[in-house]
Amino acid sequence: MNIEDLLRKEVKSIKVYVPSQSIDDVKKNSGISKIINLANNESVLGPSDMVKESLKSELEDIHRYPDSSSYRLREILSNRYDVSTDMIIITNGGDELINLLGTCFVANEDELIMGEYGFSTYRSVAELFGGKIVTVPFRNWHLDLEKIADKVTEKTKLIFLCNPHNPNGTIFTQKQLEDFLKIIPDHPIIVLDEAYCDFVENDDFPDSISLVKENSHHIIALRTFSKIGGMAGLRVGFGIADRDMINCLKRIQPPYSVNFLAQTAARAFLSDYDYRKRLIQNNSQGKKFLYEEFDRLNLEYIPTEANFIFVNLKKDADIICNELLKKGIIIRSGKVWEKNTWVRVTIGTLYQNQQLISAIKEVLVLLNR
């Protein structure tokens, strides 16, 4: 019997996640030794020195199992966000938290609402458990909370609100979220996916933790150390919610899913205020530089509150990305989100941004011949 015949029917429809090419892949295929990766929204400053030192100091203990509850990390976060430790769950990246929510709460025929172009894991979680994804079009590149509210039914189980949104980097405000909460029923679980919130400069960004503490709806705030913490390779994220929801998630979380070194690194990062400041400052400066260059090239882009920019290069996105690969630069094709001439670029260092713009100019000249 073919192994495919043994699959659950829900699994058969799920598409394998296709990441951008790795630096090693590009080096091997292009023969270029120096690669600039601006595809995955990682920290362009590399890891924090404090994080690296903490990892070195703990290597002697990696033969031991990690703390299954990540208590020391939860204790630091509880002080930072002024919530109790039992309102926090530490997960193997934000992906594990999304999967725990699906495993715990989604059943056959449940509805999950998301904006168009949402994170692919939202969709795969829905499909895995027989749920139905309901997508809502953007309004001027922003999540349309009013239309999302209109889509809520008795079957609605999860509402994914990515803020800032990926790939366009737009946000909804505190007032917009409060107005949204006033008009929806209290049964859906609202996932505030705030993976990029540390880069937001808009003062009207929602205070999700306060809304969690108000406990008028089932809200969970998702955060990650992958972006602002410079540790995407270690896979550590967390969720903050009412303790009853956290207890539900802990029932099904695999033991030791967050490894020893990931917990160590996250604790160290939370003490490294200088690294965080430098990364945010680099992002702000890089954003302004790229805006100016895109304006000079007469390219449409979406003003962003994240560490990436969605830009329309007016040519086939895959062709653009392949030509840039030949020059040692990796960016993300917008075809992933059915935007055929758009690309998503991580905001790099000044040098990386300059190299990107120079390469884009050369590629556009080549394709316009």
Q: Are 192 and 222 a contacting pair, CB within 8 Å?
A: yes
Burial class (CB in 10 A: 0-12, 13-18, 19+), 369: exposed
Separation of alpha carbons 245 and 101, rounded Å = 9
The predicted pLDDT at position 215 comes to 86
Delimit the CATH 3.40.640.10 region(s) of the chain.
49-269
3 state SS for the chain: CCHHHHCCHHHHCCCCCCCCCCHHHHHHHHCCCCCEECCCCCCCCCCCHHHHHHHHHHHHHCCCCCCCCCHHHHHHHHHHHCCCHHHEEEECHHHHHHHHHHHHHCCCCCEEEEECCCCHHHHHHHHHCCCEEEEECCECCECCHHHHHHCCCCCEEEEEEECCCCCCCCCCCHHHHHHHHHHCCCCCEEEEECCCHHHCCCCCCCCHHHHHHHCCCEEEEEEECCCCCCCHHHCCEEEEECHHHHHHHHHHCCCCCCCHHHHHHHHHHCCCHHHHHHHHHHHHHHHHHHHHHHHHCCCEEECCCCCEEEEECCCCHHHHHHHHHHCCEECEEHHHHCCCCEEEEECCCHHHHHHHHHHHHHHHHHHCC
List, for the chain, all residue ranges whose pLDDT scores fall below the cut of 70. 18-22, 25-30
Separation of alpha carbons 358 and 271, rounded Å = 37
Delimit the CATH 3.90.1150.10 region(s) of the chain.
3-47+273-367
Q: What fold does the segment set 3-47+273-367 form as a domain?
A: Aspartate Aminotransferase, domain 1 (3.90.1150)
Pick the CATH number of 49-269 from 3.40.640.10, 3.20.20.140, 3.90.79.10, 2.60.40.10: 3.40.640.10
The predicted pLDDT at position 30 comes to 66
Sign of the torsion angle spanned by Cα atoms 336, 297, 38, 319: positive
Task: Give the closest residue to 54 by CA, choosing from 226, 248, 271, 308.
Answer: 271
For the entire predicted model, the pTM comes to 0.93
The predicted pLDDT at position 20 comes to 64
Rounded to the nearest 5°, which phi and psi values hold at 315?
-135, 165
The predicted pLDDT at position 120 comes to 86
Instruction: Give me the amino acid identity at 189.
Output: I
Separation of alpha carbons 304 and 286, rounded Å = 12
The predicted pLDDT at position 10 comes to 80
The predicted pLDDT at position 29 comes to 67
Which pLDDT tens digit goes with each residue over 141-188? Answer: 999 999 999 999 999 999 999 999 999 999 999 999 999 999 999 999
